[in-house]
Amino acid sequence: MIIHLFAPFFSGSHQRWAEGYARHSQHTVRLFTLPGRHWKWRMHGAAVQLAQAFLAQTEQPDLLLTTDMLDTATFLALTRKRTANLPVAVYFHENQLTYPWSPTDEDVPLQRDRHYGWLNYTSALAADTVLFNSHYHQQSFLSALPNYLQAFPDYQGLATVDQLAAKSQVLYLGMDLLSEKENKLSKGNTPILLWNHRWEYDKHPDAFFRICEQLKLDGLKFQLIVLGERYAKAPPVFAHAREVLKDEIIHWGFAKDKGEYTHWLQKATILPVTSKQDFFGGSIVEAMYHGVYPLLPNRLAYPEHIPHDFHAQHLYETEEELFEKLQQLILPSKAFTQHDIFRKWVAHYDWQQLASVYDQKMESVVKSGN
């Protein structure tokens, strides 16, 4: 079977996902991509560029696999002579209905923020199958649609919500985990807190560093690793924290390659997550796979990464509860030896297990479309 995969925001986790599936699938997966920048323009303009790229080649696929960053409806309109009878699946890494907008984004006060959700909505309508990377993501998108549509003056299309629900499914994010070198050594006695997310507002760095500062003020001894991609307008709390916590920091900044990134994950011991938004949480899964003790909010997709019997131990409800759990972990001198437990919890996201699930899903989309 030949699959044409369209990834208009080809960087970071989107790129790793597309390349991973192409590498591990038993089918032939061709990638059509654009650089991962200017996300708003990609959602508008990528359909034209990728339609031209598709039409410029002669291979006819059995399935089109698009992502939430592509205006799939427009793409299909522009390529209708060759795609009219092709089955289409759209994979949602995120969506613009429930993604929290940056407070510094000028489109918010100008009330220009609805169209990107509309592109997600029409893309889902145009597809035969809608795939989400977590149950939380599926539920949040579908539950947000009625209120979103009711904001329009008439012909709101509320009946389409049930239609979309009927053709939506969960297909967890595939990742390259098992190829990583295993670290069987004890994590040691010095607590090392880890930040390994993007330096953006939706990861709520203010809360993370506020807790770190309070731990220091209380005289608790710990070290700090701060990883993650920094963008041009990083929240100012990062510069503040780098100065206030300079004695605790043992690494600061983006890892130059995967080997260095893995090294710091294997060195870290505790992962206190404060994010306000995560449709899956790939960085959390990566850290857990390398034995970092997770303390996660009891919201978003995070409960799906923790077996139910361990929710009370590893999930928290409030910032105060997170601080208390951290205190209990840092106060006693203890080694973190649960590496294999965390690894087992998330190993099923690896492509070695998920690739066949993806292949079967794509095959079923083709069969149902014929």
Nearest to 55, CA basis, from 41, 75, 36? 75
Share of the chain above pLDDT 70, in %: 91
Q: What is the chain's mean pLDDT, rounded?
A: 92
User: What is residue 23's predicted lDDT score, i.e. its pLDDT?
Assistant: 97
User: What is residue 111's predicted lDDT score, i.e. its pLDDT?
Assistant: 56
Say which CATH superfamily domain 2-176+350-369 falls into. Glycogen Phosphorylase B; (3.40.50.2000)
Q: What is the DSSP letter of 65?
A: E
User: What is residue 204's predicted lDDT score, i.e. its pLDDT?
Assistant: 95
Are 174 and 358 within 8 A, CB to CB?
yes
Q: What is the mean pLDDT of residues 170-194?
A: 79
pLDDT tens, residue by residue, 138-147: 999 999 999 9
Higher pLDDT, 337 or 364: 364
User: What is residue 108's predicted lDDT score, i.e. its pLDDT?
Assistant: 57
Are 300 and 279 within 8 A, CB to CB?
yes
**Which part of the chain has CATH 3.40.50.2000?**
2-176+350-369, 192-348
The answer, yes or no, to whether residue 99 has pLDDT greater than 70, is: no
Cα-based distances in Å from 282 to 97, 134, 339: 21, 11, 18
pLDDT tens, residue by residue, 39-87: 999 999 999 999 999 999 999 999 999 999 999 999 999 999 999 999 9
Provide the CATH number for the domain formed by 192-348 in this structure: 3.40.50.2000
Are 290 and 262 within 8 A, CB to CB?
yes
> What confidence category does residue 229 fall into, taking pLDDT thresholds of 50, 70 and 90?
confident
What count of other Cβ atoms lies within 10 Å of the Cβ of residue 73?
20
Q: At what angle do helices 115-126 and 135-150 cross, to 10 degrees?
A: 110
Are 250 and 256 within 8 A, CB to CB?
no
Q: Which amino acid is at 313?
A: Q
Instruction: Classify the C-alpha dihedral 239-321-216-339 as positive or negative.
Output: negative
| DSSP secondary structure string for all residues of 31-51 | EEEEES--HHHHHHHHHHHHH
Are 69 and 18 within 8 A, CB to CB?
no
- Per mean pLDDT, which range of 11-25, 33-47, 168-182, 312-326 is the poorest? 168-182
CA distance 280 to 99: 12
| DSSP secondary structure string for all residues of 256-281 | SSHHHHHHHHHH--EEE---S--SS-
pLDDT tens, residue by residue, 108-126: 565 556 789 999 999 999 9
> What confidence category does residue 98 fall into, taking pLDDT thresholds of 50, 70 and 90?
confident
Q: What is the mean pLDDT of residues 137-162?
A: 96
User: What is residue 349's predicted lDDT score, i.e. its pLDDT?
Assistant: 98
Q: What is the mean pLDDT of residues 35-41?
A: 94
Instruction: Classify the C-alpha dihedral 104-110-111-117 as positive or negative.
Output: negative
How is residue 87 written in tokens?
């089955």
Share of the chain above pLDDT 90, in %: 84
> What confidence category does residue 179 fall into, taking pLDDT thresholds of 50, 70 and 90?
low
